[in-house]
Structure 1
Amino acid sequence: MAPRKAPSIRQRRLAGELKRLRVAAHLKQEHVAERTGLDASSIYRIERAMNKPQRRTVLTLLDLYGVTDPDRRATLLDWLKEPGDGQPLWFHRYEVYLPDVMMLFVKLEAEAESLRVYESMLVPGLLQTEEYARAITRSVSGWPPEEIERRVQVRLHRQDVLHRSAPMRFRAVLDEAAIRRVVGGPAVMRAQLEHLATASREPGITVQVMPFSTGEYPAMIGNFVLMDFATPFDRPVVYLESSAGDAFIENEQDVARYAEFFDAISARALRPAASRTLIEEAARALG
């Protein structure tokens, strides 16, 4: 049996919008099943992006939900198509190797317009050097060498979003521990810090450091990534990564809470220029 693929960003968008339209029409899934002849379990799976619906199914649902605007209908139908048909995107070749939740994160990240990241212990993946990424992956995974190399290459490919024709806006707040912990040895860490300082000068990339002298502050309990998208129908998403498992948060109130967390820690962290100075000092201290 072929492994099930993680839903694409377009499938996820379509699923979320169909659910919102059903709720706005004050219909339960069983009511939709009764009026359309569709199976209730199929509606459930479509709304959770577990099944990709056929075009005629989407048209039937849009008619039931009263969506008559031609542009909106065209947009939703367009989400049935995959970008770059006939030209597989780079991450497709890794799809059979990565867990579904990680694959979904990679797809969301690839289409995000901007990212806000908080990291308490590590340099964010999009700003990691190859040797730093390899040292981290080797130390935390216990994977065989070929899997470690595969994960490192995925991480390096992900960094393309910072250099595409319309670069992602990237803001990161790092705890000072992330630049003080020597990962991979002094030479690897120094190269990583120098790369981080250089990247922080690029347009669209903002790096701030929360110094130890700040003491306690909001969001110390864990790392998170807040993704924003250009598409008006696609709401922001928060990604949480931990040793207990990864998770996505899409509830509007919860996402807003994480946005407040980020604003609060960004306001208390060192300004970008002062953060870069601290990063450069940490690099020089490594010899």
Structure 2
Amino acid sequence: MAAELRRLRADAGLSREQVAEQTGVNEGTLYRIETARARPQRRTLIALLDLYSVGEPMRADLIELSRSADGQGWSRPYQWQLPGEYAVYISFEAEARAEHNYESLFIPGLLQTPEYSRAMSQGVLPAATEPEIDERVQARIERQKLLDGPEPLQLWAVVDEAAVRRVVGGRQVMAAQLEHVLAMMKRPNVTVQVIPFDAGAHPGMPGSFIFLEFRDEGDPELVYVDAQAGDMFLESEDDLRRYRTMFDHLRASALSPARSADLIASVKEGRLE
């Protein structure tokens, strides 16, 4: 429902601010509805459908969907431990056709082994309890199932060499992690490139991000930024253009997939010495 309401607003050519002005629906409330963090009240949904000129049968379908929507999905058991924005991101990722992921310090989540994921979570969240760490690791394992199946997610990951060389969880854990990345790179739906240290400064140095493209062409693309100040979803055309261009520059700065595999293999062998 959240995806459909975003699409309807985009088709109407309206910003959230304009919708708030014309319906009286608070802009923050609209954001939570469109990111699946809140279910709209019936009067709110009807006001939106009226503004977007939604007719039957879609109108009845959305009203019924709102009545029955309760956040079902594989991530639901884990959401009590996951940040709200991250849980929302998981629901968006499950709908995606392709994911472009840049990481400056970590191996991408969809390519992490459980051992690496656990060590990374413990390092990043030193105050987290073991049950909280368990929930995060399990959520990541469930996410990785998107890379399997008859229509798997198309993953294109670009990582800084720092992510490959940083020893997370100890030498053996890191060696196994790099071996897993090399194995995943053999899949037709997984592409990994490494930006070497000698490439110098590049557009990804300010931080990591994920660019999602959806199976339904009516769904707008989405950028997810995980930052210390809080996670963000970006969907304006200016932001999408900026991050799309940034990822193109990162791919151009990186080694080819074949040379990236050679670098990862050489680092892995160094871990085993």
* TM-score bracket for the superposition, by shorter chain length: 0.7 to 0.9
Whether the aligned pair in 2 keeps the contact of 1:14 and 1:76 (CA below 8 Å) is: no
> Residue deviations 1:32-67, cap 9 Å, x none?
4xxxxxxx2478734641643467865665455434
Instruction: Find out whether 1:285 has 2:270 as its counterpart.
Output: yes
Whether the aligned pair in 2 keeps the contact of 1:22 and 1:28 (CA below 8 Å) is: no
Instruction: Find out whether 1:131 has 2:115 as its counterpart.
Output: yes
1:21–1:264 Cα change, 3 Å: same
Whether the aligned pair in 1 keeps the contact of 2:158 and 2:193 (CA below 8 Å) is: yes
Corresponding residue for 2:96? 112
Corresponding residue for 2:14? 23
Q: AA paired with 1:136?
A: M
Alignment RMSD: 3.0
**Counterpart mapping for 1:261-280 below 5 A:** 261-280=246-265
Unmatched 5+ stretches in structure 2: none
Corresponding residue for 1:66? 53
1:235–1:74 Cα change, 3 Å: farther
**C-alpha separation between the residues in 2 aligned to 1:71 and 1:278?**
55
1:201–1:167 Cα change, 3 Å: same
Q: What secondary structure does 1:90 align onto?
A: coil
Q: Shift of residue 11 of structure 1?
A: 2.1
How high is the TM-score relative to the length of structure 1?
Answer: 0.81
Unmatched 5+ stretches in structure 1: 1-9, 33-39
Q: Shift of residue 97 of structure 1?
A: 2.3
Corresponding residue for 2:200? 215
Q: Shift of residue 281 of structure 1?
A: 1.0
**Counterpart mapping for 1:1-287 below 5 A:** 10-15=1-6, 17-18=8-9, 21=12, 23=14, 29=20, 31-32=22-23, 40-41=24-25, 45-46=29-30, 48-49=32-33, 51-53=38-40, 58=45, 61-68=48-55, 80=66, 88-142=72-126, 143-287=128-272
Corresponding residue for 1:5? none
**C-alpha separation between the residues in 2 aligned to 1:261 and 1:194?**
28
Q: Percent identity?
A: 39
1:44–1:178 Cα change, 3 Å: closer
> Residue deviations 1:80-134, cap 9 Å, x none?
4879x9x953211112222211110111111111100111111001000011111
1:17–1:272 Cα change, 3 Å: same
Corresponding residue for 1:3? none
Q: AA paired with 2:156?
A: R
> Residue deviations 1:239-282, cap 9 Å, x none?
11122222111111111101100001101211111111111111
Q: Which has the larger radius of gyration?
A: 1
**C-alpha separation between the residues in 1 aligned to 2:184 and 2:46?**
46
Equivalent residue pairs, number: 267
